[in-house]
Amino acid sequence: MKKNRILNLFACALLAAPAALAQTGGTQPVYLDDTQPLEARVEDALSRMTVEEKVRLSYAQSKFSSPGCPRLGIPELYHSDGPHGVRAEVDWNKWNYAGWNNDSCTAFPALSCLAATWNPRLAARYGQAIGQEARYREKDILLGPGVNIYRTPLGGRNFEYMGEDPYLTSALCVPYIRGVQQNGVAACVKHFALNNQEQWRDYIDVYLSDRALHEIYLPAFKAAVEQGGTWSIMGAYNKIRGTHASHNDMLLNKILKGDWHFDGCVVSDWGATHDTYEAAMNGLDIEMGTYTNGLSSESEFGYDDYYLGKAYLQMIREGRIPEEVVDEKAARVLRLIFRTAMNRQKPYGSMTTEEHYKTAYDIATEGTVLLKNRKGKNREALLPLRKEAYRRVLVVGDNATRNLLSGGGSSELKPKDYFTPLESLRAIWDDAAYEPGYVPNESLYAPQAGTPHTAADSLREEAVAKAAGADLVIFIGGLNKDYRQDCEGTDRVSYNLPYGQDDLIRALAQANKNLVVVLLDGNAVAMPWLDEVPALVQSWYLGTMTGPALADLLTGKANPSGKLPFSFPARLEDCPAHHFGTISYPGDGTRQEYKEDILVGYRWYDTKGIEPLFPFGYGLSYTTFEYGDPEISATRMAEGDSLCVSVSVRNSGSLPGKETVQLYVGDEECSLLRPKKELKGFRKIALAPGEEKTVTFTLKADALKFFDDRKQDWVAEPGKFKAYIGASSADLRGEVTFTYE
């Protein structure tokens, strides 16, 4: 690919030379001189372009590229799906994979796993590593990270996002974006905005309050722009208040480019553009994938037939589109090209290095969450497993051997290596037996005939029979990335585990008390068997290093330190999106109303007094941590002031471990409904046995504010507030009170 692109750039330079030299008296054009300020280069290039050339910047030339200006030597932009790895090459004008043998990648854990690390340093390493791989593959735009809020456990793309809390998502997406862009590769933050489900995603019309929009669904995008400095944003498929998100005036012109001063490009999701005038006037800069479904369907039309193609040019010629709109759009694309494709300071990049595999491993181990670890008759917890304690080991479950990087839609990856859990466990117990126990009966994007009951029963019976004679059973199941599981374009149809896994787990628990259940997925699931299972590990799609990470976690070589980035409801109807009926989720087929308003996730469970199955921020360790009483530096504060909340934490166990200390703030007196508490800080610390550290959080007035629809502004009202220190949203270890004046 590098050779092809170099030849293409050389051809562009030859085409550019006569025109460029004629206009500059034989000197180098300013726009190619990267010692000049970026905006000077943009204005210089813009001044040389015809209206046709400006228009041509704004729509695709292939499935995953958009053009530059060959006459002036300005190269095209190459896009690549992310955000968990650089996708394999597809054909120029088809969805088929190109069949290259040099487009493998490191598969990093899904962003749900990154969120569960609660570790911004790992987020920075993630961004740096995936940015290096994108740069090596000559990609200019990486389509990620995804920062949409987790609203329902049925959401098909929840595994691509970072949970239910806007503060946590913001804190992790910013270093990821910065890491990617250090490589001269643009992050493309998606999907802006309110793409919180896959069912009817192309046309569902979302209605919600301004409070919910600004407090819950926009903060991570705002942080990506104002703190992360992202160079591009991807518009979503869905409508918002009657207009598609990819050309929505409120969203793109007023909020993104107006209030937030975003100077980058808005790129449509593939097939998310629907109107020429709206796309031109309402803030879309690059149109991709039109007349396709963004996954598999093909267009009968050429690229010039895109909404920002011939029709856009005709409107300009008729005077319906002002010249300043055309120039502003073209300038944004040029700015992006100069930051990426024409950035001569960017590094070379690297692929599938030992360092990248180490980054993937560290994210996998720090993101995996220990949900349960019950003590047995010997008064010891089942985990971590000791090799010498178990001779006959049985591994059960399809996910122990399945390649969980295929399927799922645009995040599908072609890894150079994929180490399965079974092969890594057999590196410890070389004679470990294996039984699938169940077989999935769906495939990507289409329902398939189910596994016959007799065959399914036989698989379950064989696994249970062998479990009865084993010393240890490790079940590795969960979801996968097939149709109606964790998959783009579809939502789940049930909160329960698919393929009869609930019955299988119950039967295994009855057959053998030494049962470890490991779930690999990107969503919360129902657990009707929870009381019968002694040890439960919530893992995710861990990428290349799935097997080594899980083996090390189960045997204690690594100590679990993940915390849940979203709540697990005990019942689906307890979830706020489902509580208000179908108009709230999934909608009536046309319209949807977010009736839970600002009470998303733990905000709902806390405020309504509903106990979840597992709370937001929850996660156990193989060691234990003791918290001291929190202390506050002042009991009063005003606008412009700050105060500190401090707490000491000690590792009171016998193993080194990491704990995430969480700070929540609650408003005791408010003129509008507010959640009982909201996350406003967290810190992950490593502690040796017996070691103690003090964690200090600084609170400013912004942390106390809510969005007042009546004033259309952020407000902190005078009154009493509480700061809570917790090990999760439900496990509070102390609180302090202060007054805002």
The answer to whether residue 460 is domain-embedded is yes
The answer to whether residue 597 is domain-embedded is no
| Residue 656 lies in domain | 623-740
> Over the stretch 287-326, which tens digit does the pLDDT of each residue have?
999 998 788 888 888 999 999 999 999 999 999 999 999 9
Q: Is there a single domain that holds both residue 393 and residue 542? A: yes
Is the pLDDT at 61 greater than 60? The verdict is yes
What's the rounded Cα separation, in Å, for the pair 711 and 382? Answer: 55
Assign 376 a pLDDT band (cuts: 50, 70, 90): low
Is the pLDDT at 472 greater than 80? The verdict is yes
Is the pLDDT at 143 greater than 50? The verdict is yes
Q: Is the peptide bond before 191 cis (omega within 30 degrees of 0)?
A: yes
> Over the stretch 338-358, which tens digit does the pLDDT of each residue have?
999 999 999 999 999 999 999
Task: Please report the pLDDT score of residue 11 as a whole number.
Answer: 41
The answer to whether residue 146 is domain-embedded is no
Q: Is there a single domain that holds both residue 329 and residue 364? A: no
Per-position DSSP letters for 217-265, written without gaps between them:
ISHHHHHHHHTT--SEEEEPSSEETTEEGGG-IIIIIIIIIIIS---SE
Q: Whole-angstrom distance between the N-terminal and C-terminal Cα of the chain?
A: 61
Contact 464, 511 (CB under 8 A): yes
CATH of the domain at 523: 3.40.50.1700
**Beta strands at 631-632 and 239-240: parallel, antiparallel or unpaired:** unpaired
> Over the stretch 246-288, which tens digit does the pLDDT of each residue have?
999 999 999 999 999 999 999 999 999 999 999 999 999 999 9
Q: What is the mean pLDDT of residues 386-406?
A: 96
Q: Is there a single domain that holds both residue 277 and residue 372? A: no
Task: Please report the pLDDT score of residue 450 as a whole number.
Answer: 56
Q: Is there a single domain that holds both residue 643 and residue 502? A: no
The answer to whether residue 385 is domain-embedded is yes
Q: What is the mean pLDDT of residues 498-519?
A: 97
What's the structural domain count of the chain? 3
Quote the tokens at residue 355. 């360092």
Is the pLDDT at 25 greater than 50? The verdict is no
Contact 60, 288 (CB under 8 A): yes
Is the pLDDT at 19 greater than 90? The verdict is no
Quote the tokens at residue 203. 């046309």
Amino acid residing at 547: G
Q: Give 350: exposed, middle or buried? Use CB within 10 Å, 0-12, 13-18, 19+.
A: middle
Q: What is the mean pLDDT of residues 447-474?
A: 84
Share of the chain above pLDDT 70, in %: 94
Q: Is there a single domain that holds both residue 417 and residue 562? A: yes
Q: Which of 579, 613, 647 is the last residue of a domain?
A: 579
Assign 497 a pLDDT band (cuts: 50, 70, 90): very high
Contact 392, 386 (CB under 8 A): no
- Phi first, then psi, for residue 56 (nearest 5°) are -65, -20
Collapsed DSSP state (helix, strand, coil) of residue 435? strand
Is the pLDDT at 5 greater than 70? The verdict is no
What's the rounded Cα separation, in Å, for the pair 540 and 494? Answer: 19
Task: Please report the pLDDT score of residue 454 as a whole number.
Answer: 72
Q: Catalytic residues, which ones? A: 269
Is the pLDDT at 74 greater than 60? The verdict is yes
Q: Which of 339, 367, 401 is the last residue of a domain?
A: 339
Q: Which one has a higher pLDDT value, 594 or 380?
A: 594
- Phi first, then psi, for residue 553 (nearest 5°) are -70, -45
Q: What is the mean pLDDT of residues 3-8?
A: 47
Q: Is there a single domain that holds both residue 330 and residue 361? A: no
Q: Is there a single domain that holds both residue 396 and residue 522? A: yes
453-474 per-residue burial string, b: 16 or more CB within 10 A, e: under 16: eeebeebbeebbebbeebebbb
Task: Please report the pLDDT score of residue 455 as a whole number.
Answer: 78
Q: Is there a single domain that holds both residue 534 and residue 644? A: no
Q: Which of 527, 559, 579 is the last residue of a domain?
A: 579
Contact 122, 363 (CB under 8 A): yes
Q: Is there a single domain that holds both residue 674 and residue 570? A: no
Contact 238, 207 (CB under 8 A): no
Q: Is there a single domain that holds both residue 553 and residue 674? A: no
Q: Is there a single domain that holds both residue 560 and residue 627? A: no
> Over the stretch 528-582, which tens digit does the pLDDT of each residue have?
999 999 999 999 999 999 999 999 999 999 999 999 999 999 999 999 999 999 9
CATH of the domain at 647: 2.60.40.10
Is the pLDDT at 3 greater than 80? The verdict is no
Contact 248, 233 (CB under 8 A): no
Assign 442 a pLDDT band (cuts: 50, 70, 90): low
Q: Which one has a higher pLDDT value, 332 or 450?
A: 332
Max CA pair span of the chain: 88
pTM exceeding 0.75: yes
Assign 29 a pLDDT band (cuts: 50, 70, 90): low
> Over the stretch 155-186, which tens digit does the pLDDT of each residue have?
999 999 999 999 999 999 999 999 999 999 99
The answer to whether residue 276 is domain-embedded is yes
The answer to whether residue 681 is domain-embedded is yes
Task: Please report the pLDDT score of residue 496 as a whole number.
Answer: 97
Q: Is there a single domain that holds both residue 448 and residue 539? A: yes
Name the average pLDDT for the chain.
93
The residue ranges of DSSP E strands in 589-731, in sequence order, are 591-593, 625-627, 631-632, 636-637, 642-651, 657-667, 678-687, 692-700, 706-708, 713-715, 719-726
Quote the tokens at residue 276. 């020429």
116-137 per-residue burial string, b: 16 or more CB within 10 A, e: under 16: bbbbbebbbbbbbbbbbbbbbb
> Over the stretch 667-708, which tens digit does the pLDDT of each residue have?
999 999 999 999 999 999 999 999 999 999 999 999 999 999
The answer to whether residue 638 is domain-embedded is yes
The answer to whether residue 298 is domain-embedded is yes
